[in-house]
Amino acid sequence: MKNKVLDYLIVGQGVAGSCFALKLFNQNKTFQIIDSNQNKASSVAVGIYNPVVLKRFSLIWKAEQQLQWMFHYFSDFEKLLGENFIEKLPTYRILKSEDEIQTWKKKSDLPVLENFLSKEIQTSKNQNIHAPLGFSEVKHTGRIQLEKCMRLFREFLIQKNNYRHEDFDYSELKIQSDKIIYKGIEARRIVFCEGYKLLENPYFNYLPVIGVKGEVLEIETESEIPKAIWKAHNFLMPENSKTALTASTYDREDMTYEPTENGRKQMQKYLEEIYTGNYKITDQKAGIRPTVVDRRPILGSHPAHQNLFVLNGMGTRGTLLAPQMTEYLYEHIENSAKIDKEADVRRFDKFWD
Ligand SMILES: Cc1cc2nc3c(=O)[nH]c(=O)nc-3n(C[C@H](O)[C@H](O)[C@H](O)COP(=O)(O)OP(=O)(O)OC[C@H]3O[C@@H](n4cnc5c(N)ncnc54)[C@H](O)[C@@H]3O)c2cc1C
């Protein structure tokens, strides 16, 4: 019997591959996802979403659109999987100097930021939160429980026979003008969503994806931390009355997936600048973020093979970026929409030969 040609094959089930698969599912497209379920940055990520760059107090690229698409996609995941993943939480930026307070006041008066930065400087009422000069609120922030969402979506895909647990073997991929064939699977298109492992993909490894390793600490605290995302140099976010997460490190040298002593020490140092109570470390994890030299995602087709696509470069903000970038790519493939120049893979054609 002749194999049915699927609409899509996806490689990778991190937040990028999952958002794309969700879109296909909602559009009644046929697809298979191949995933090794290893070293998934999306399962290490804290999942914080925050439309403001907190070093410079400026809005991120396409902030409002990204937020809208993020709520749209993760509400759909919630409905499909019957669990909550979205936690709306204020971010409290701890102010470190008089200069910073003056900058904050100026920035919060700007029309573009007034919806995001509170004008009020608050003082900490919690004896274990160290904020002698006060803190102020960043609005429209929170956390997506990415690990739980990816895990439950994977179980859902397995149940629907949409998921194959294996390492994709690039040498088995046969490309024809109207379809691709991979170990007996035929599909009209293939979308690569491998995160940092893109660099092992012989078709797309010309792209300037740079790994940035990050680590996260889970701690048990002696006293309850007020429910918010506390931000000084690093983040501190309580998960419940006893445990909290603190992150992160940014290492461009060490590309291993193991947590390190250096990482732990660095995170403890920054944690103790925010939290002065006793705590014990209960877990430490590491992952590699797929970042791009120009800090924009990468999406679109291969320069020579029109049925090979890439969806990558989510960097430090996969939670916010993956939903909107999925929309761009899907609309491009299905409805010939133009991809935003800043995210289009075409900007790197000069590196391909
Ligand atoms: C410590 C840390 C903290 C972070 N915190 C946040 C945060 O708070 N908020 C935020 O928005 N972002 C955060 N990030 C960034 C976020 O994790 C990434 O932007 C995002 O997870 C990247 O998603 P992805 O789907 O591109 O890649 P990944 O999540 O890495 O998924 C790639 C998938 O592809 C699979 N794969 C790869 N190659 C193959 C192959 N050949 N065959 C089969 N399967 C393959 C892998 O097994 C994996 O499942 C953090 C990252 C780290 C490391």
Residue 273 identity (one-letter amino acid): E
Question: Does residue 47 carry a pLDDT above 90?
Answer: yes
Reported as a pLDDT band with limits 50, 70 and 90, residue 323 is very high
Residue nearest to atom 10 of ligand 1 (CA): 317
Cα–Cα dist 315/318, whole Å: 6
pLDDT at position 57 is: 86
What residue spans define the domains of the chain?
6-45+147-208+294-351, 90-140+210-292
pLDDT at position 56 is: 82
Total Cβ atoms within 10 A of residue 352 = 13
Taking the CA of residue 168 as reference, the ligand 1 atom at the shortest distance is 42
Average the pLDDT over 140-161 and give the result: 98
Cα–Cα dist 277/284, whole Å: 19
Q: Dig out the tokens for 240 from the structure.
A: 């419940």
Q: Dig out the tokens for 341 from the structure.
A: 């120049």
Domain 6-45+147-208+294-351 and domain 90-140+210-292, same fold? Reply is: no
Kindly report the three-state secondary structure assignment for every residue of 180-246: EEECCEEEEEEEECCHHHHHHCCCCCCCCEEEEEEEEEEEEECCCCCCCEEECCCEEEECCCCEEEE
Average the pLDDT over 292-300 and give the result: 97
pLDDT at position 3 is: 67
Q: What is the mean pLDDT of the chain?
A: 96
Residue nearest to atom 7 of ligand 1 (CA): 47
Residue nearest to atom 31 of ligand 1 (CA): 14
Question: Does residue 286 carry a pLDDT above 80?
Answer: yes
Taking the CA of residue 196 as reference, the ligand 1 atom at the shortest distance is 30
**Residue among 308, 311, 305 at smallest CA distance from 209:** 311
Q: Quick check: pTM over 0.95?
A: yes
Question: Does residue 2 carry a pLDDT above 90?
Answer: no
Asked whether the beta carbons of 35 and 163 are under 8 A apart, the reply is: yes
Based on its alpha-carbon atoms, the radius of gyration of the chain, rounded to whole angstroms, reads 21
Whole-angstrom CA distances from 184 to 1, 35, 187, 318 are 12, 17, 10, 32
Q: Dig out the tokens for 48 from the structure.
A: 């914080």
Cα distance from N-terminal residue to C-terminal residue, the chain:
39
Domain spanning 90-140+210-292 has what CATH number?
A: 3.30.9.10
**Residue among 196, 207, 162, 164 at smallest CA distance from 183:** 164
Distance of CA 195 to the CA centre of its chain: 10
- 60-109: per-residue pLDDT in tens? 999 999 999 999 999 999 999 999 999 999 999 999 999 999 999 999 99
**Residue among 231, 274, 277, 278 at smallest CA distance from 130:** 274
Residue among 37, 89, 314 whose CB has most ligand 1 atoms within 8 A, to mutate: 314
Pocket of ligand 1 (CB under 6 A): 11-17, 34-38, 40-42, 44-48, 167-168, 193-195, 197, 214-216, 247-248, 287, 289-290, 312, 314-320
- 192-244: per-residue pLDDT in tens? 999 999 999 999 999 999 999 999 999 999 999 999 999 999 999 999 999 99
According to the CATH classification, is domain 6-45+147-208+294-351 in 3.50.50.60? yes
